[in-house]
Structure 1
Amino acid sequence: MKVTGVKTTVVENEDPYIGGKYFLFLEVETDEGITGLGEKVTGSSFNNSGWKEFTSQIQLIHETCEAFLIGQDPFNIEKIWSDAYGSRHDYRHPSLHYTSVLAAIDMACWDIMGKATNQPAYNLLGGKFHEKLRAYAYMPSGWQDSPEKAGEIARQLLEEGNSACKLDPFTPLHPGPRDVGLPEIRKAANIFEAIRKEVGDDLEVGIGTHGQLTTYSAIRVANILEEYNPFWFEEPVPPENYDEMARVAAHTSIPIASGERLVTKYEFSQLIEKGAASIIQIDVGQAGGILEAKKVAAIAEAHYAMIAPHMYCGPIAAAAAIQVDTCSPNFVIQEANQGPLHKTIFKEPLAFENGFITPPTGPGLGVELDMDVMKSRIVS
């Protein structure tokens, strides 16, 4: 089997644009008539310049595919990925833009392999370890109004079948690192106290901060919130300094979570080996794809760390993350941010229900685009 061509498509998301205002899909064609789906994660909700902002990203996809994918056997993912990552001097230093191109190619190749063998990708990566996948999302808006309101929302989440959620208590977000004063920390503590009084220990609540704190502020926050047993403390400091994150980890019993802005096994190995995080939030669509994520999961497993993949992306990248979750022994929970389009764009939607995801059983990524829905959303 050989790859004969590639096609990119920009798809407009539906309001409220969860995962981005636009999605960038990749289709990889082969000489045996099998087509694989991939997605380049774009994070496009963070600017308003429209879909034409993707011109350079689309060009990068096509240049990379022409150089390293066309004419290759899609089963040879290791070689395709390695050649694309290491052959050009300017590309070897990883970046979210380039590794997300590699991820899109990787997803499409796994989709092709699965379709060619009539197996889900997770069966080709060790088989199904989990029958269902625990999931979480951000606590719905309104919890900021008062601690009592936060408690009410926590009760509602629990009654809907959820076992975990996440909130960002230090807003508005700041690029950081910044000091967080005692009044802000006490306000967050009051919210956690109200949640614990309402639902006890039945609902896990993670702290998100988007890396906006100084090391000493993060340690102070951890010391005050520790008694409420948060699920994790996510990116307590900017994620690029593993040593400072490890300092925070050494000062608290709250598990440190990080990884949504890291790429490749090389960056994750430093995070894990330095003891900077024990919950690894790899983004399969940004960090390099399914195979790279599986390698990161293995490094984490050897250090008794768990994976809780990040999911702020389109539906194809979400399907790829689920494949990794299903076959990874050290999977703990999957972020599950889904917008309306995620639920309609596939002929059989990904099954998110009562706080759990049911892995698809179809071949490859286990999903097939509904072309009637696609036609109404394509912008380029």
Structure 2
Amino acid sequence: MRNCSRPRFSTIRNQDEATRKRPMSKITSVKAIPMSDPVPLERQHRNDLGTKVKSDATLIVLETDDGLKGLGASLGNPEVVAALVEFDLGPAVIGEDPLFSELIWEKMYNGSRWKPALERGNSQPQDGRRGVTVEAISGVDLAVWDVKAQILGVPIYQALGAVRDNVRGYGSGGWAPGDEAEAEMAGYAAKGFDAVKMRVVGGDGFSLKNAERRIAAARRGIGPDVELMLDAHGAFAVSTAIQLAKMMEKYDVAWFEEPISPDDHAGLGYIRKATTTPIATGEREFTRFDFQSLFDNQACDIAQPDIARAGGYTEIRRISALASARGVRVAPHAWGMGVLFAASIHVAMSTPNCHILEVSQGYMPMMNDLFNEPYDIRPNGRVYAPPPPGLGFTLRDDALERFKYVPGPEYVF
């Protein structure tokens, strides 16, 4: 998996010596830049969320007094994220050393009570540390780790603790109606992916009959040896989700994702007990405390934290450890702008119980055209880690102008 020919131990020794001698870096600025990626009319698709008209994200740019620059990304309403970073989170991290990433996270999460929280050894989160606030914390944390890894002279996944340098990718998309799902999923498999994902609700709307028709078509298209996953975006009631999960059993579905609202952890537990189809969820959960509730309810077989929502690298490490203790695998949700996907690569490379990584097959220029460097996705569908220190990717010169923020919703009915 990794190149063992280089003098790893002497390199690490030299890096350690350099780190001991370096002057402390200080964070001097944190900026949040709202961004949008409009979808041309001919590329818009419809599913249970509505018709996709654009994608939004917030780029986080963190700078230090020694000239380093870190990149992060946040989900959530970009205007709200920008306000949180400017007036709340940014002032909390200015002046801090990026190597103290755990301290910085605790300052952002606990707010004014960060000192007693650390002295007493228990979380004392400031009011509102859920939802978009945690999404903003996530983006700042990503940027902190980018700079931290640059200081250490290694890629982020090695700063986190590397377990591999490549991972299986799966082709994710699947909106085609009816029998057209056969060719769509076959196309993903033809790119080399040995696992693919489609939406339960396609362009032809939902009924149990429509869903089974599309699933059967997808299975015909990919054959028996390619894994098939289904994503419901939390659209169904428990009773309908159980019917779907039982139907999926005969099609050897690798997981049924977000069958019901992510708010109903007990309901997810009921569904999981009623079927042999594995249940996946987690992309809309915030912090390890939400995931602890999922695991307590035995609600999933696969946890899917989103790096730009769940709390960044710092918190996903904790979430993944909790999952491992419960025998739950991790498959990061990685749908969004390029910084989010690049960060998810580093998560996959540093998480022992991560077995696969999402690779979007949708119309996503803000993911695929954001950086000067291409992603290293091989013909066999495996995703490889970037070798440069830090995130390993740099923004194109025209990125901020090309993806200028456009107010309004991402989906419309």
Q: Fold match, TM over 0.5?
A: yes
Query: Compared with structure 1, are the counterparts of its residues 267 and 22 closer, same or farther at alpha carbon in structure 2 (3 Å cutoff)?
Result: closer
8 Å Cα contact 1:273-1:303 kept in structure 2: no
Residues 313 and 158 (structure 1), Cα distance of their counterparts in 2 relative to 1, 3 Å cut: closer
What does residue 34 of structure 2 align with? 10
Q: Does 1:156 align with 2:182?
A: no
| Rounded Cα–Cα distance in structure 1 between residues aligned with 2:248 and 2:216 | 9
Find the partner of 2:368 among 343, 346, 360. 343
Q: Assess if the C-alpha contact under 8 Å between 1:20 and 1:312 holds in 2.
A: no
Assess, with a 3 A threshold, how the Cα gap between structure 1 residues 36 and 221 changes in structure 2: closer, same or farther: same
User: Which has the larger displacement, 230-239 or 351-360?
Assistant: 351-360
Partner SS state of residue 240, structure 1: coil
Partner of 2:210: 187
The answer to whether structure 1 residue 329 and structure 2 residue 355 are counterparts is no
Q: Take 1:252 and 1:317, find their aligned partners in 2: how far apart are those partners?
A: 33
State the TM-score, normalizing by the size of structure 1.
Answer: 0.86
1:40 maps to 74
Change (3 A) 1:236 1:377: closer
1:240 and 2:263 matched: yes
- Measure the CA separation in 2 of the matches of 1:379 and 1:243: 38
Aligned pair in 2 of structure 1 residues 85, 159: CA closer, same or farther (>3 Å)?
same
Whole-angstrom distance in 2 between the partners of 1:365 and 1:69: 20
Alignment length, in residue pairs? 358
* Distance 1:362-1:220 versus aligned 2 partners, 3 A rule: same
Partner of 1:51: none
**Counterpart secondary structure, 1:134:** strand
RMSD over aligned CA atoms reads: 2.6
Q: Contact 1:135/1:357 (CA < 8 Å) preserved in 2? A: no
> What is the 5 A alignment of 1:20-169?
20-42=54-76, 54-87=78-111, 91-139=126-174, 141-142=175-176, 144=177, 146-147=178-179, 149-169=180-200
* 1:291-327 deviations in Å (ceiling 9; x for gaps): 1111111111122211111122211122111111111
Partner of 1:47: none
Q: Is the 8 A contact 1:269 1:299 kept in 2?
A: yes
Residue 233 of structure 1, CA deviation: 1.0
C-alpha separation in 2, matches of 1:234 and 1:189: 16
Q: Aligned ranges for residues 217-296 of structure 1 at < 5 Å?
A: 217-296=240-319
Find the aligned partners of 1:282 and 1:270 in 2 and give their Cα distance. 14
- Measure how far apart 1:376 and its partner are: 4.3
Task: Show structure 1 runs of 5+ residues with no match.
Answer: 45-53, 175-179
For the pair 1:203 / 2:210, whether they are aligned, the reply is no
**1:14–1:340 contact (8 Å) kept in structure 2:** no
Equivalence for 2:410: none
> 1:363 pairs with 381, 384, 389, which one?
389
Shift of 1:15: 3.3
